[in-house]
Amino acid sequence: MENKQANIIKNSHIPITSHKLNDHNFLCWSQSVPMYISGKGKDNYLTNDDRILTTMDPKCRMWKTENHIVISWLINSMTTKIGEDFLLYKIAKEIWDAARETYSSFENTSELF
């Protein structure tokens, strides 16, 4: 029963977030997106770069697949204009870090209050 519930959650079609990243909402976006990605068991793609450096490693293909899934989640959680700026990135963590560096600011904290 527990495994069946895990599969239902894993395969659910919940929107990534209602907070599409724009120039003013980084704080809300940066809190809601990791919840979704962590719920899919892929939060390590945001928190550390555990790339497999050798293409001979059988896990390399799986890493690339999952990394691209996380990249698509991130870009789909942004406005079209902002998402286009990240299309050439190859690693999900680099997108996450660049978005934080570009869009986090003191002004964005006011949206929570």
Helices (H), 48-91: 59-76, 80-84
**Model pTM above 0.85:** no
CA separation for the pair 56, 77 (Å, rounded): 33
Q: Is 73 helix (H, G, I), strand (E, B) or coil?
A: helix
pLDDT tens digits, residue range 22-39? 999 999 999 999 989 988
**Tokens describing residue 53:** 């450096």
pLDDT tens digits, residue range 9-20? 455 677 888 889
CA separation for the pair 105, 60 (Å, rounded): 36
Residue 110 in this model has a pLDDT that exceeds 50? no
